[in-house]
Amino acid sequence: MLIAHTPVRLSFFGGGTDLPSYYTAHGGAVLSTTIDKYIYVVLRVHEQSVLQITSSDYRTFYRHEPGTPLLWEGDLLLPRAVLRHFGVTNGVSLFLASEVPPGTGLGSSSSVTVGLVKAISTACGQRLSPAQVAQLACHIEIEVLGRPIGVQDQYAAAFGGFNWMTFDADGVRVEPLALPQATLARLERNTLLMFTGAARDSSEILARQNRASAAREPAVIEALQVTHALALEARRHLLNGALEQFGALLDQAWQHKQRFAAGISNDQINHWYRLACQNGALGGKIAGAGGGGFMLLYCDDEAVERVASVLSEAGLRRMAYRFATDGARVLFNAGLRLRQTGPLPAGPEGNSLPAAQDVR
């Protein structure tokens, strides 16, 4: 048996500038941290010549018999794609579970991909760096499966911790931020995660944004450029410990984010956000692509509990969390070794994975 876990992330600034359709032309940057909510991957080898995948989140099960085509549809498409990449088609049971609901804006889908890559590569005897794990996860999600997503979530999950990530045509760079403990403690204490009760499929919102970026629509490009500039400013405030200014910038970034694509906000979300600001929140946003999921809010020191109480009365649910420093890792491995029943496919750029690009 092998057990791996991967954290989900909170993206404070720069989300949207990590889509390749935007950053390859304009550059992008994201400020984010991982939190102590995890995706778990459990692998077990058995003697039967079948492949079995179970997901507790989607309450679904998949069984693949040898000699039959691998189905490319349904909720368990992602683990099948990762297993196929590594040439593993039978003799394995795979179990997936998450501490957060899918589709709630915390990057859980890409955390699943990263966790699968980490677990299966380890079980196949490969030692991939965090950058290589993230690059392969991006390749499978974006190039193989054609998902209209960015690349920040995969790198956040693979590296872990509080990071400044930059994106351009040459690749991705990850810079861990060495923040004073007092700054981290206050930021953690004053940042709320409130669940709106609505999970959503962000693919359509991201597809609209992706099309707008690729078409160079002026309003969307301008909003993304302002978002990039605000991320740079937020990084400076954070490094200086100026958290009031950091929180206020969240409000500016949220206003511009709503220009990326239709569906990012709605009347109900706007009502909750106004309610939070009227009771002491300096700024916030809907986490992830938008449309539902978790609302992230930064509050004045004395306003955290008041904002949480008011939003709870309005029907939202608070999720307790802590910042986490670890990325994807194997928690337990009882010498498991997977049988690769087919040739290992080439990496994203030929026969090997691209060179890691990070500044650790």
- Could you read off the pLDDT of 179-223 as tens digits, one per residue? 999 999 999 999 999 999 876 666 676 677 677 777 788 888 898
What gap in Å lies between CA 129 and CA 320, rounded to an integer?
30
Full set of structural domains in the chain with CATH: 2-333 (3.30.230.120)
In angstroms, the first-to-last Cα distance of the chain is 31
Q: What are the residue numbers of the active site?
A: 153
The whole-number pLDDT of residue 202 equals 62
Task: Give the pair of three-digit tokens for residue 182.
Answer: 């007092």
Give the sheet arrangement for strand 317-318, strand by strand: 281-286, 294-299, 191-195, 317-318
Q: At what angle do helices 304-313 and 267-278 cross, to 10 degrees?
A: 140
User: Which two structure tokens, joined as six digits, stand for 5?
Assistant: 């876990």
Tens of pLDDT along 323-356? 999 999 999 998 878 877 664 444 443 333 333 3
* Residue 181 and residue 32 in contact, taking contact as beta carbons nearer than 8 Å: no
Contact 196, 272 (CB under 8 A): yes
Q: Is the pTM of this model over 0.85?
A: yes
pLDDT (tens digit per residue) in 5-49 = 999 999 999 999 999 989 999 999 999 999 999 999 999 988 777
